[in-house]
Amino acid sequence: MKHEGSSDEMMTDEKWQAIISNDAAYNHQFFYAVKTTGIFCKPSCKSRIPKKENVRIFQNAEEALSAHFRPCKRCKPTNERLPDNDWVALITAYIDKNYSDKLTLETLAEMSHGSPYHLHRTFKRISGITPVVYIQQIRINTAKNLLLQNDVPIADIGKAVGIPNIPYFITLFKKMIGHTPAQYRQFHNKSEGLNK
* pLDDT tens track for 119-141: 999 999 999 999 999 999 999 99
pLDDT tens figures, 20-64:
888 888 888 899 999 988 899 989 888 888 889 999 999 888 899
What ranges do the domains of the chain cover? 13-71, 83-196
> Which residue from 74, 70, 67 is spatially nearest to 45, judged by alpha carbons?
74
Q: Where are the beta strands (DSSP E) in 24-127?
A: 31-34, 39-41, 55-58, 70-71
Assign domain 13-71 to its CATH superfamily.
DNA Methylphosphotriester Repair Domain (3.40.10.10)
CATH code of the domain made up of 83-196: 1.10.10.60
Catalytic residue set: 41
